[in-house]
Amino acid sequence: MKLWRFVLKNALRNKRRTILTVISLAISLFIVNTLISVVRGFDGTDPTGPARFRLITRHKVSLTNPLPESYWEKIKQVPHVESVTPWSWFGGVYKDSSWENQFARFSVDPETYFRIVQGEVTIPEDQKKAWIEDRRGAITGKSLAAKQHWKIGDTISIKGDIYPVTLDLVLRGIFTANKSDDEQNLLFHHMYVEELTGRKGVVGTYWMRIDSPENSTTVASTIDRMTENSDAETLTETENQFLADFISMMGNIKGLIGAIGLCVGVVILMLAANTMAMAVRERTTEVAVMKAIGFSPGKILGIVVGESVAIGLISLVIACGMGFLIYNVMDFRLPGLWTPMFLTPATLLMAAAIAIGISLISGFIPGWSAARMGVVEGLRKVA
């Protein structure tokens, strides 16, 4: 459309106002992006991703109740289960309880661990072997190792709180994961913890890989039926469901984020509408002239809405650029939030829908009054 140039020129007429508006919209849209990514992070991993091959068995009552080690053999026998490892939260304190020293520590069975995360976690073969062979050995993800400045061969001491023992670990390997949020763990031998605690034969949860996602319900119900009426009844869920449950324990976070998102949305609407109202008010005479020389009300409306959408789109591009740089490139996370905040195409699409929707509304209100304005009246008004 020929009028595009006109619309852009209009947008740039008051550069200062446009720039201020674009910055404020971009920042608000950036927050929208952030909120969407947090919610998406909480929604668990990609439902089509490799996580759907994995199930977690925990004590039915709560995560704090341990399961007997004897279940390991039992779960191994269940049809469709390919491999299963104990996966126990160790907790404990590394150095002190400050935020930078908070990271997840789990005890696992090293050999089965690699079978469960196959295709997602890579580690040099010699490091893998060194870890499997060293009972005091530990491995960690690249991103956590970098944060803690750990090198292979370093000793890491974790003072237990749930268990009254201190782990003296030696870092034997550093793995890389497809997603850096999977690189935040410190993993060590289940048997080492068992030895220190005096062979109690307890496991936090069991983590398993199944042959096909379609069998997840069957496997889950087989395991849970097997433990029914025992002292430790279990609840088996897919990894995604497990994470979702975990998040829901923190309270109605989604509700809170939704409310914040709504506030931010209204802020964006107010900012954009204010600017467009100012812009149209300034041009009252001009709009009247345009109408006098034959511009139809529809065109006038289109021009105003077009300008609003143009400003919205520029802001959107900046907001997404900011988000991409901060979350995807720099991998910034809020302290204490373990979920990644990467922007995905779905997030960007949603932000775009919000930006365009709000631009349309904020352009429509002043545009509509401009389109309906009487020519004589408009020409008489002195801006």
Residue whose C-alpha is closest to residue 113's, from 24, 38, 185: 185
Of 61 and 292, the one with the shorter C-beta distance to another protein is 61
CA angle 227, 228, 232 (to 5 degrees): 60
- Of 152 and 260, which CB lies nearer to another protein in the complex structure? 260
Build a one-symbol-per-residue string for 24-63: x at contacts with another protein by CB under 8 A, - elsewhere. xxxxx-xx----------------------------xxxx
Nearer to another protein, 186 or 341 (CB): 341
Q: What are the residue ranges of helices labelled H in the chain?
A: 3-11, 15-42, 70-77, 110-116, 125-133, 142-148, 190-197, 216-226, 239-248, 253-282, 284-292, 297-323, 345-372, 375-380
Q: Residue 295: CA atoms inside 13 Å, Cβ hemisphere, count?
A: 21
Q: Which is nearer to another protein, 4 or 332 (CB)?
A: 332
Q: Does 17 bind another protein (CB under 8 A)?
A: yes
Binding mask 196-225 for another protein (x = CB under 8 A): ------------------------------
Establish if 250 lies at the interface with another protein (CB under 8 A). yes
Q: What angle do CA 140, 199, 188 make, to 5 degrees?
A: 5
Q: Is 115 in the site for another protein (CB under 8 A)?
A: no
Q: How many residues bind another protein (CB under 8 A)?
A: 54
Q: What burial class does residue 259 get, using C-beta atoms within 10 Å of its C-beta: 0-12 exposed, 13-18 middle, 19+ buried?
A: exposed
Asked if 251 touches another protein (CB under 8 A), the answer is: yes
Considering the rule CB under 8 A, would residue 266 count as an interface residue with another protein? yes
Closest CB 155 distance from another protein, rounded Å = 20
Determine the interface stretch with another protein among 89-97, 179-187, 191-199, 294-302 (rule: CB under 8 A): 89-97
Distance CA 153, CA 155 (A): 6
Q: Which of 275, 284, 308, 347 is in the footprint of another protein by CB under 8 A?
A: 275
Contact flag: residue 267 with another protein (CB under 8 A): yes
Contact 137, 189 (CB under 8 A): yes
139 binds another protein (CB under 8 A): no
Q: How many CB atoms lie within 10 A of CB 167?
A: 23
Interface with another protein, residue 297, by CB under 8 A: no
Using CA of residue 225, residue 244, residue 194, residue 151, what is the dihedral sign? Answer: positive
**C-alpha Rg value of the chain to the nearest Å:** 29
Q: How far apart are CA 178 and CA 99, in angstroms?
A: 25
Using CB under 8 A, list all residues that contact another protein.
16-17, 20-21, 23-28, 30-31, 60-65, 91, 93, 97, 99, 159-164, 231, 245, 248-252, 256, 259-260, 263-264, 266-267, 270-271, 273-275, 277-278, 334-337, 382
